[in-house]
């Protein structure tokens, strides 16, 4: 890692722990900063805070006292999930204290190039694909996954060398806290409306995503979804070299789908049907990953081999197993209607039993009617099951079954399926009405599938 001096003897407040805050505090302490950590969880229930205290880092837990900011901090490193209207964050802004997220620290110390991936949907799959492509048949160094994918960027950046690459998934929350951050390649998978409870307006959300390219120049590459008119318009405002991808148009300067074949700059890469994951959205993810990989000089043979053998990341249209010739797919990460619509695009509806439902955020689901048309059956659970049942009726689905949760939905789905069918968990809702996370929901689904196999 680069031994930067800018934080020596500087007073830094790390607000919020979790993985990223813990990693940032450790790194700043290593860089010679005078670190104070503030976390809401009580000390006796806070192993991370206890660990930091043992390292000699000052820790304040159990509340977020505003008077902390009387101490003349030069910098706040904020957990991305903490909103800017948080009283401590708002006060720091009013005092003109620089507020960063730990991805900025990772950039400052990294010895290797960074590929940054953002977007509303497809970030994790695209990030994973790019990591696999860069590591396929690699002769030296390694591509490390980092960021929103679950590996704190400031931790990963401490162990890389100049032979390596960091492939970093980046949320809008993280991108609001960058300053000098400059990836060599940035990827924007798509932009839809999301996280308005955090950002306030769609314009704010788009601006946060678009910030990924703000420090790039013509020697850097911005890979963007050319099927989005909005991204086409935004592309006029960047200094980076644009590399587009499209599943709808032929692009001589980018990656595209034509007649069932994936191309990069008129060069045939592979058949779309050879991709190890289904769906139009995964074709788009693959095109974005191919563009990034080709810019990094990865061979066509390596790309084809890696993408053929890639069968998805956990909870994202993940193939689980087959039971009596019924294939089970876990798409628990589908926490909005668009994600479910995209997942369904990879299947023949008359051979699909869909499991859906979850937290009621007050929205309806009529936008799913076209995607629901022709489904063999829907098994609905959670707070939104009645709303989704109304949508299913409008889509003229004959078999609509209401149940308690994912665990009870699985055997019902099996009962209403036949050999050759796919049973897809793609909830179109957040999990928090019944499960602490979409990961737990997906795990419960897979456990229920395993129980079927035991019968």
Query: Which stretch of DSSP H or E encloses residue 262?
Result: strand 261-264
Please enumerate in sequence order all residues whose Cβ is within 8 A of that of 333, keeping only pairs 6 or more positions apart, or say none.
124, 315, 316, 339, 438, 442
Residue 224, beta-bridge partner list: 188, 244
Q: Which of 335, 337, 336 is nearest to 371 (CA)?
A: 337
Q: Is 201 annotated as a binding residue?
A: no
- Quick one: CA torsion of 33, 34, 40, 42, rounded to 10 degrees? 120
163: left (phi over 0), alpha (psi -120 to 50) or beta: alpha
Tokens found for residue 251? 């692009």
- Rounded Cα gap, residues 443 and 437, in angstroms: 10
- Rounded Cα gap, residues 322 and 333, in angstroms: 20
Q: Is 279 annotated as a binding residue?
A: no
Number of H helices, E strands in the chain: 17, 20
Q: Is 128 annotated as a binding residue?
A: no
Q: Is the C-alpha dihedral spanning 7, 10, 14, 15 positive or negative?
A: negative
Q: Is 357 annotated as a binding residue?
A: no
- Rounded Cα gap, residues 210 and 116, in angstroms: 12
C-alpha 377: how far from chain center: 29
Q: Is 122 annotated as a binding residue?
A: yes
CA angle 124, 125, 131 (to 5 degrees): 90
Helix (H, G, I), strand (E, B) or coil at 417: coil
| Axis-axis angle for helices 300-308, 280-295 (nearest 10) | 150
Q: Is 335 annotated as a binding residue?
A: no
Residue 69 in contact with residue 97, Cβ under 8 Å?
yes
Residue 324 has what DSSP assignment?
Answer: T
Please enumerate in sequence order all residues whose Cβ is within 8 A of that of 377, keeping only pairs 6 or more positions apart, or say none.
353, 354, 397, 398, 399, 400, 401, 413, 416, 417
Q: Which of 388, 332, 334 is nearest to 364 (CA)?
A: 388
Q: Is 124 annotated as a binding residue?
A: yes
Binding residues for ATP: 119-125
Binding residues: 119-125
């Amino acid at each position: 890692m680069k031994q930067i001096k800018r934080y020596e003897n500087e007073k830094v407040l790390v607000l919020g722990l979790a993985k990223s805050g813990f990693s940032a505090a450790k790194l700043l302490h290593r860089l010679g900063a005078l670190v104070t950590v503030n976390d809401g969880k009580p000390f006796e229930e806070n192993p991370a805070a206890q660990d930091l205290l043992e390292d000699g880092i000052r820790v304040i837990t159990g509340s977020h006292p505003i008077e902390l900011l009387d101490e003349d901090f030069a910098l706040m490193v904020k957990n991305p999930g903490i909103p800017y209207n948080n009283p401590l964050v708002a006060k720091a802004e009013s005092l003109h204290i620089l507020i960063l997220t730990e991805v900025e620290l990772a950039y400052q110390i990294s010895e290797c190039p960074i590929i940054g991936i953002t977007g509303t949907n497809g970030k994790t799959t695209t990030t994973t694909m790019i990591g696999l492509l860069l590591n396929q048949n690699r002769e030296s160094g390694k591509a490390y996954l980092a960021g929103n994918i679950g590996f704190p960027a400031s931790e990963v950046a401490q162990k890389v060398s100049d032979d390596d690459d960091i492939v970093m998934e980046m949320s809008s929350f993280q991108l609001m806290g960058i300053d000098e951050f400059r990836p060599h390649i940035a990827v924007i998978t798509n932009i839809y409306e999301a996280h308005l409870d955090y950002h306030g307006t769609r314009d704010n959300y788009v601006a946060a995503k678009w910030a990924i390219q703000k420090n790039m120049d013509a020697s850097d590459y911005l890979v963007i979804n050319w099927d989005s008119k909005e991204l086409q318009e935004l592309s006029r405002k960047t200094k980076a070299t644009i590399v587009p991808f499209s599943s709808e148009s032929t692009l001589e300067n980018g990656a595209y789908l034509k007649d069932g074949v994936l191309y990069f700059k008129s060069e045939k890469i592979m058949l779309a049907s050879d991709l190890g994951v289904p769906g139009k959205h995964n074709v788009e993810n693959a095109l974005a990953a191919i563009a990034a990989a080709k810019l990094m000089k990865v061979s066509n043979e390596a790309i084809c081999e890696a993408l053929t053998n890639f069968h998805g990341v956990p909870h994202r249209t993940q193939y689980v197993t087959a039971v009596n010739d019924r294939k089970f797919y876990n798409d628990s990460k589908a926490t909005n209607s668009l994600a479910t619509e995209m997942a369904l695009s990879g299947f023949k509806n008359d051979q699909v039993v869909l499991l859906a439902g979850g937290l009621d955020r007050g929205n309806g689901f009529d936008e799913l009617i076209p995607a629901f048309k022709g489904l063999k059956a829907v098994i609905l659970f959670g707070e939104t099951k009645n709303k989704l049942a109304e949508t299913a009726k409008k889509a003229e689905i004959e078999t609509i079954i209401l149940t308690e949760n994912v665990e009870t939905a699985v055997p019902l789905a099996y009962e209403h399926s036949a050999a050759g069918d796919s049973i897809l968990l793609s909830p179109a809702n957040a999990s928090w009405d019944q499960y602490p996370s979409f990961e737990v929901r997906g795990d419960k689904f897979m456990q229920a599938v395993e129980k079927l196999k035991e019968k």
